[in-house]
Structure 1
Amino acid sequence: MAETTMSVTLLAHTQLTEQMRDKLFMCDEPFDAYVAPPIDATHGQAVALSAIRTCYSPLKPSEIVEVEGDKYFGKQATDGGTGTDADRLFRQIVASKHTSTMEHITFTFAVEGVSRALLAQLTRHRVGFSFSVQSQRYVKLGSGDKSGGFDYVVPETINNSAALDIFVETMKRLQQVYDMLRHYGIPSEDARAILPNATATNLTMTANLRALLDFYSKRRKGRGAQHEITELAERLRECVVEVEPWTDAFFGGM
């Protein structure tokens, strides 16, 4: 067992199919993020434009970027704002709360080394989220098991030596109790009852862009959320913005 820290890795995100990339003259590089000129757009932007314009265009969804891509991605924003006219359209959609069109863009994360306390908060966000969580029933957390015992997360406010000593000693004692229960034949699904909220866990999480924007608006710094989940909100935002930079303007704005 040991103290652990949070790690967030983007495993996957919305990508155009090979058929659509060929149709839009994309680069051959398999991990290339952008549609090749004259359509300068990320995969997510291409999907967003397809979804938004499907609601208003007589074109078929599969035709929209091919036919209208240059109009939106190749021209300056007509609202006087930054970016292309596609950026203007995305701003308009977010401002009008027609953000269901953003649900077609998804991201899958590996979230590791977070507390069960955070997990309880995180799973309150259910619409647009999917979770697969490390099981305390099937993953045995004894000192002699493959796990080496349960890891734990130390809250930010436990930052003086006296309080930290008490906290760490309590974690050690709870590990001993868990081990003793298992020694006396108590199954792991019942021995886990004594594990603390600080126990670290890992999960795979998928969420659509609309859900992530809503999550961030509620859990970002300055909104009164606990430190650990505000850190998670920032890590998720960073992962999303790295692959879809245009989304940065909308985090916290919904």
Structure 2
Amino acid sequence: MNVKLLAYTQINKAWLEEWPAAALESLPKGMSDGQAVCVTAIRTCYSSNKPTEIIELEGEKYFKKEASDGQGGNDADRLIRHIMNSGHTSTIEHINFTFAIEGVSRSLLAQITRHRHLSFSVQSQRYVKFGSEDKSGGFNYTWPPSISEQPQEIWDIYSSYMEQIQEMYDELREAGISAEDARMVLPNAATTNLVMTGNLRSLLDFYSKRSEKGAQWEIRELAEMLKEEIVKAEPWTEAFFKLKKK
């Protein structure tokens, strides 16, 4: 499995260019784009200032002062913590992340698409041909730990069945069966690639459910890899992955 963050919410530079020079110079140095969007959304609900004015007029107050709750960080961190704890989490839906997810099983795909408010573009078994002689070189498949940790004879049984499935697929294609119908014999273990986009609220919800011990091994691994990519881009989000799961 390979997971890479392709894109995430950034401040529109054209908007910043409209600011007075003095306001630009006073921008908080430690403020990330995600935090700026989040604070703008939160304060819009409670401030008489316009959304376009929030960071310019209130940024110094939230980003340049220590958190007043004694839990570390600046007062923007405190504000976001307060909002998260109060359940007003619609305000973090404005921060989006887009991932490339490669080499996951169709079994995982069936599970992840049950989650709402995530968007998917998935490699098609209808249009991409998985014959041995096709550009793909045949279908790839996952190895569940319960099989890969077994003695060689179990490995051989599993890989032998996969080879037989490949042969069935090839024979159907050679007989003139279309890829969209030949794919019916491909297993849940067959891997696929997808692009997935979600807002921070939905991704935290996904993590809270799929990082649990009761979740299947593959989707648990995916949950941790998504978290790693998000936290790398927006470090302040790490605290919310650690919140007690309800």
Pairwise TM-score range, normalised by the shorter structure? over 0.9
CA–CA distance in structure 2, aligned partners of residues 98 and 200 of structure 1: 38
Gaps of 5+ in 2: none
AA paired with 1:14? Answer: T
Instruction: After TM superposition, list the pairs within 5 Å mapping 1:114-129 onto structure 2.
Output: 114-126=104-116, 128-129=117-118
Q: Does the Cα contact within 8 Å between 1:142 and 1:148 map onto a contact in 2?
A: yes
Aligned equivalents of 1:66 and 1:12: distance in 2? Answer: 25
SS at match of 2:46: coil
Per-residue deviation at 1:248?
Answer: 0.1
* 1:27-50 CA-partner distances (Å, limit 9, x unpaired): xxxxxxxx9753521000000000
Matching residue of 1:13: 8
| 2:135 counterpart residue number | 146
- When residues 103 and 24 of structure 1 are mapped into structure 2, their CA distance, relative to the original with a 3 A threshold, is farther
1:82 aligned to which of 72, 75, 78 = 72
Paired residues in the alignment total 239
The code of the aligned residue for 2:144 comes to P
Distance across 2 between alignment mates of 1:218 and 1:78: 32
**Hey, what does 2:241 align to over in structure 1?**
251
Q: Structure 1 length as normaliser, TM-score?
A: 0.90
Give the deviation of 1:221 after TM superposition. Answer: 4.1
Give 1:162 shift.
Answer: 2.1
State which of 55, 61, 65 in structure 1 corresponds to 2:55.
65
Aligned CA RMSD, in angstroms, stands at 1.7
Q: Which runs of 5+ in 1 are unaligned?
A: 1-5, 26-34
Q: Select the residue among 160, 167, 181 that pairs with 1:169.
A: 160
Amino acid corresponding to residue 197 of structure 1 in structure 2: N
**Counterpart of 1:239 in structure 2: which amino acid?**
E
Correspondence 1:54 to 2:54: no
Q: Is the 8 A contact 2:27 2:56 kept in 1?
A: no
Q: Deviations over 1:125-160 (max 9, x none)?
A: 02x210000000000000011111001111111121
SS at match of 1:55: helix
Alpha-carbon distance in structure 2 between the residues aligned to 1:24 and 1:182: 65
- Taking only the aligned residue pairs, the percentage that are identical comes to 59
Tell me if structure 2 keeps the 8 A contact 1:114–1:201.
yes
Greater share of residues in helix: 2
Cα distance in structure 2, aligned partners of 1:230 and 1:189? 30
CA deviations on 1:44-76 (whole Å, 9 max, x unpaired) are 000000000010011110110111001000000
- Structure 1, 154-163 or 7-16: larger mean CA deviation: 154-163
